């Protein structure tokens, strides 16, 4: 049986590898990439691997692009496109904050509307959101990105309940620290702010993503399992050894005091000054 999936943000990172792997598993893959130059790059990679992809330009913030794809009849949509804006919430410029939400929240939500309605009419389909552990908790200097992923969590939660009666499934994948380059780029985004470092509260030249990072294979494997239905859980955190940590951090918010440790640097802020970019997990 032919299975068709639309993967957004397929030009890099998780989306790229998932699209290629699904094509190798005999899915009909429509791989949406933001930048036209990524079309050739992904087609070349597919040729090297001996798989077939339909690679298309799809910028989720473009109304014209969304209109072209919202009428597709696909079995699954993987909303993977996203960017990360790093920096303290007191320093991020307005246009960068708005861009964070346009790419990660508004664009995917509007793209999904038309596709979801067609799935509801067929009474079949699956919508998968590439969320993040940052959608469950929030760390220093990733507040804007975390806020966008918290919004995706809310959208997915509501959508799953709304579409249940129409036979359409919704699920999320929640990666933590993985070596795609994405996390390190988040902590470099201040370089495009166009303002003097002296205007910032924090010294971004000397901070880095505060976690050691894993190889991407568990995220790719789990996402494919969610897409194909061999994994049926709604929320899917990777790496799995971080699940308990995530739950404890979420629960801690109920008892944490607003006056707690005032005047002292938060430990994870200190770690951002100690960590080097792209530090892998110890083997």
Taken in order 28, 33, 38, 40, is the CA torsion positive or negative?
Answer: positive
Asked whether the beta carbons of 18 and 31 are under 8 A apart, the reply is no
Give the whole-angstrom CA distance, residue 90 versus residue 72.
Answer: 41
- List b or e across 245-255, with b for residues whose CB sees 16 or more CB atoms inside 10 angstroms: ebeebeeeeee
Q: φ, ψ for residue 77 (rounded to 5)?
A: -120, 130
State yes or no: is 209 an active-site residue: no
Please state whether the peptide bond connecting residue 239 to the residue before it is cis, i.e. omega within 30 degrees of 0. Answer: yes
Give the whole-angstrom CA distance, residue 160 versus residue 156.
Answer: 6
> What tokens appear for 259 in the block?
């006056």
Asked whether the beta carbons of 90 and 193 are under 8 A apart, the reply is no
Asked whether the beta carbons of 129 and 107 are under 8 A apart, the reply is no
Give the whole-angstrom CA distance, residue 53 versus residue 21.
Answer: 10
Cα three-residue angle 49-55-60, rounded to 5 degrees:
135
> What tokens appear for 150 in the block?
């918290």
**Annotated catalytic residue within 145, 204, 209, 211:** 145
Give the whole-angstrom CA distance, residue 209 versus residue 274.
Answer: 10
Annotated active-site positions, please?
A: 145
């Amino acid at each position: 049986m032919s299975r068709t999936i639309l993967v957004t943000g397929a030009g890099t990172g998780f989306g790229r590898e998932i699209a290629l792997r699904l094509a190798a598993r005999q899915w009909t893959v429509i791989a949406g990439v933001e930048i036209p130059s990524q079309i050739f790059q992904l087609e070349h990679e597919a040729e090297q691997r001996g798989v077939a992809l339909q690679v298309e330009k799809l910028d989720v913030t473009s109304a014209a692009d969304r209109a072209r794809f919202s009428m597709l009849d696909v079995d699954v949509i993987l909303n993977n496109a996203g960017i990360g804006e790093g920096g303290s919430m007191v320093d991020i410029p307005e246009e960068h904050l708005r861009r964070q939400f346009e790419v990660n929240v508004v664009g995917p939500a509007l793209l999904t509307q038309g596709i979801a309605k067609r799935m509801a009419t067929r009474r079949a389909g699956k919508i998968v959101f590439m969320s993040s552990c940052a959608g469950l908790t929030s760390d220093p200097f990733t507040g804007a990105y975390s806020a966008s992923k918290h919004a995706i969590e809310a959208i997915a939660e509501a959508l799953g309940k709304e579409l249940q009666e129409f036979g359409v499934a919704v699920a999320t994948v929640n990666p933590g620290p993985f070596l795609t380059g994405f996390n390190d780029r988040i902590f470099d985004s201040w370089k495009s702010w166009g303002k003097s470092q002296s205007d910032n509260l924090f010294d971004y030249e000397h901070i880095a993503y505060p976690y050691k990072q894993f190889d991407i294979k568990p995220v790719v494997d789990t996402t494919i399992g969610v897409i194909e239905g061999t994994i049926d859980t709604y929320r899917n955190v990777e790496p799995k050894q971080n699940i308990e940590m995530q739950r404890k951090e979420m629960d801690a918010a109920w008892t944490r005091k607003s006056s707690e440790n005032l005047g002292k640097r938060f430990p994870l802020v200190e770690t951002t000054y100690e960590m080097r970019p792209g530090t892998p997990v110890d083997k």
